[in-house]
Amino acid sequence: MQDLSRPDSISSARLRVLVIWPPHVPSYFNAGHHLGLFEVGAYLRQMREVAEVKCVDAGALNLTWKHVGDLLFEQFDVIAIMNEFDALEGFGRIVRYARALSPGTRIVTFGRLSSQVPGLFERYDIDAIVHSGDYEAGVEAFVRRVAGTPGDLPGVAVQEGGAWVQPTHPGVFLDPQTWVLPDIREIPYDAYMRLYLSDQNKFCGIPERLELVLPVARGCPLQCEYCDVPAREGLRERRLPVDRAVRYIEDSFAAAPFEYIAMYAPTFTLNKKWVHQLCEQLTARGSRYPWKCTTTSHHLDKDLIAAMARAGCVRISIGLETLDPMARKSLPGLKQTEEERFDLVAQWCRDAGVELNCFVILGMPGGSVEGSKHTVERVRENGARVRPTIYTPFHLLRAEMDEQEVQAYNRQIFVDGVSPDEAADLYPLYFGKDPRLTRVMERIPKSPAAVRQPAPESEAGAQAGAGG
């Protein structure tokens, strides 16, 4: 490893940068979680110190390690590896390949896992770890350091002289005006579409339709203890200007056969005025862009849902989490949804013709198996889609854990607080066949130019018999 504190280790030439997501088998897939890879790449291309940036989502593309090795052998000056709760299995391997095939390359990592437990990555043979702040700002600061440009490293730890030097101050949260929206030409949206084909997986996308992800907002004030967003993105929400969001939609649909939009934001309707303005612009354009979003039941009302439906909204996802009265106590006040309130929101969605998709957490602290089962049943009684996940106490992650221990925190296997008998009763609510699969794709017109993949044979029959 080269010492960044030595002047002769700094390059004065314009740099070539590889931004990569390592190969891995995903437990869950959300294209929005991968978007940071391409946002970082687009942001770095603005830098005068950078000559070239290549972005590769090796996980979604299912690349072989030979393919990855060929990439690393191109001798990039900097490799920025995106990390994730679910992708640690390939991290050590890609670092070993990089050190063997391109020993002079500097390596920095950024992502959701290093934001949660940055010390975990100090065991690897890398040069820098983005602890906090927006990914783009942290990686940019490190690239400037490699290029020899003077400046601080806010939110970034670096290894110098064989020891880790921790950040002297927090990372930077960028103003939305400075965000660089990702280049759709380098995002493997066709690969993402294939990952969404089976609704049995309960992934976030809509089967059989090509999704465009629009990064709408960052930050959330709700502070749910099982969510990493407030610590990673800040408590103050930052939001893309409406005009710029609409322009990105129009340009993207004109350039590629997208069929719907995923409005990527922690709490999409947190700023209702912004949402109404967006709906006005989309409605004025003939509501020709179907879309979906994620929010909370508290931040919805009848008129807002109706306006969203008129503007093309086909699915609203809410973080319902639980209707168990005891488990609800562990949620922030605004997330403690009463059953009467949930029934009302579900009715508003039915009246507007919008699919309601409910995130349900199984095994929440203080709750019971009966409470989880009741939550799932009540969602289905209201004609809504259940998107279950397993309660995972991310706050228990520690830097000294080994890779196998960390990988257990994948929101599919219980790691703490649930007895084996309780787990055995709850797993059937998550794993196995769901007879009620989404049909919302039928409300989204097909693009004749879109790449088509057949639905999995095991699901085709279930879809044919699924209720509306």
**74: in domain:** yes
Coil vs helix vs strand at 113: helix
pLDDT of residue 465: 30
Q: Would you state the pLDDT for residue 273?
A: 98
pLDDT at 222: 85
Kindly report each contact of residues 27-30 with a partner whose C-beta sits within 8 Å and lies 24 or more positions away, as own/partner. 27/86, 27/410, 27/411, 27/412, 28/86, 28/203, 28/389, 28/410, 28/411, 28/412, 29/60, 29/192, 29/195, 29/196, 29/201, 29/203, 29/204, 29/205, 30/203, 30/204, 30/205
Look at residue 454 in the predicted model and tell me its pLDDT. Answer: 58
Could you tell me the pLDDT band of residue 453, with boundaries at 50, 70 and 90?
low
Check residue 448 and give its pLDDT. Answer: 84
Q: What percent of the chain has pLDDT over 70?
A: 94
- Both 153 and 220 in one domain: the answer is no
- 309 with 373, same domain? yes
Strand partners for 390: 362
Look up residue 336 and give its amino acid.
Q
Q: What is the pLDDT of residue 451?
A: 61
What's the rounded Cα separation, in Å, for the pair 389 and 430? 7
* pLDDT for res 85: 87
Let me know whether 109 and 196 are in one domain. no
CATH number of the domain residue 432 falls in: 3.20.20.70
Residue whose tokens read 């488990």: 327
Of 113, 133, 165, the residue at which a domain comes to its end is 165
pLDDT at 8 over 50: no
392-423 per-residue burial string, b: 16 or more CB within 10 A, e: under 16: bebeebeeeeeeeebbebbbbebbeebeeebe
Q: What is the domain count for the chain? A: 2
Q: Rounded to whole angstroms, how far apart are CA atoms 401 and 119?
A: 10
Has residue 183 been placed in a domain? no
**Between residues 4 and 364, which one has the greater pLDDT?**
364
Portion of the chain with pLDDT greater than 90, in percent: 84
Listed range (71-75, 231-235, 249-253) with the worst mean pLDDT = 231-235
Rounded average pLDDT over 106-123: 97
Of the pLDDT bands very low, low, confident and very high (cuts 50, 70, 90), residue 7 is very low
Contact 402, 374 (CB under 8 A): no
In angstroms, how far is the first alpha carbon of the chain from the final one? 58
State pLDDT tens for residues 175-222.
Answer: 999 999 999 999 999 999 999 999 999 999 999 999 999 999 999 988
Shared domain check, 408 and 335: yes
CB 265 within 8 A of CB 419: no
User: Is 177 part of a structural domain of the chain?
Assistant: no
Stretch 435-447: mean pLDDT: 94
| The pLDDT of residue 460 | 30
**CB-side exposure of 39: number of CA atoms within 13 Å?**
25
Co-location of 195 and 159 in the same domain: no
Q: What is the band of 235 on the pLDDT scale with cuts at 50, 70, 90?
A: confident
Q: Are residues 308 and 206 part of one domain?
A: yes
Both 214 and 147 in one domain: the answer is: no
Closest CA to 348 of 282, 277, 300: 300
| Window from 5-19, 176-190, 303-317 with minimum mean pLDDT | 5-19
Q: Residues 317, 235: one domain?
A: yes
Q: What's the pLDDT band for 449 if we cut at 50, 70, 90? A: confident
Do residues 348 and 435 both lie within one domain? yes
Band (12; pLDDT cuts 50, 70, 90)? low
pTM of the model: 0.92
Q: What CATH number corresponds to the domain at position 55? A: 3.40.50.2300
**Residue 417: what pLDDT?**
84
Distance CA 33, CA 15 (A): 27
Task: Tell me the CA distances in angstroms from 225 to 100, 113, 131, one per residue in order.
Answer: 40, 15, 19
Q: How far apart are CA 42 and CA 55, in angstroms?
A: 9
* Residue 174 belongs to a domain: no
Residues 158 and 193 in one domain: no
CB 113 within 8 A of CB 83: yes
Burial label, 101 (beta-carbon count in 10 A; 0-12, 13-18, 19+): middle
Average pLDDT of the chain to the nearest whole number: 92
Co-location of 156 and 208 in the same domain:
no
Given a contact cutoff of 8 angstroms between Cβ atoms, the answer to whether 157 and 166 are in contact is yes
Q: For residue 134, what are the domain limits?
A: 7-165
- Which pLDDT does position 457 carry in this prediction? 47
Give tens-digit pLDDT for 362-420. Answer: 999 999 999 999 999 999 999 999 999 999 998 899 999 999 999 999 999 999 889 99
Number of Cα atoms under 13 Å in the Cβ half of residue 150:
0
Instruction: Tell me: do 64 and 158 sit in the same domain.
Output: yes
More confident residue, 338 or 3: 338
In a domain, 1, yes or no: no
**342 within a domain of the structure (yes/no):** yes
Q: Rounded to an integer, what distance in angstroms lies between the CA atom of residue 387 and that of residue 321?
A: 10
Return d(Cα 131, Cα 111) in angstroms, integer: 9
Q: Rounded mean pLDDT of 22-29?
A: 93
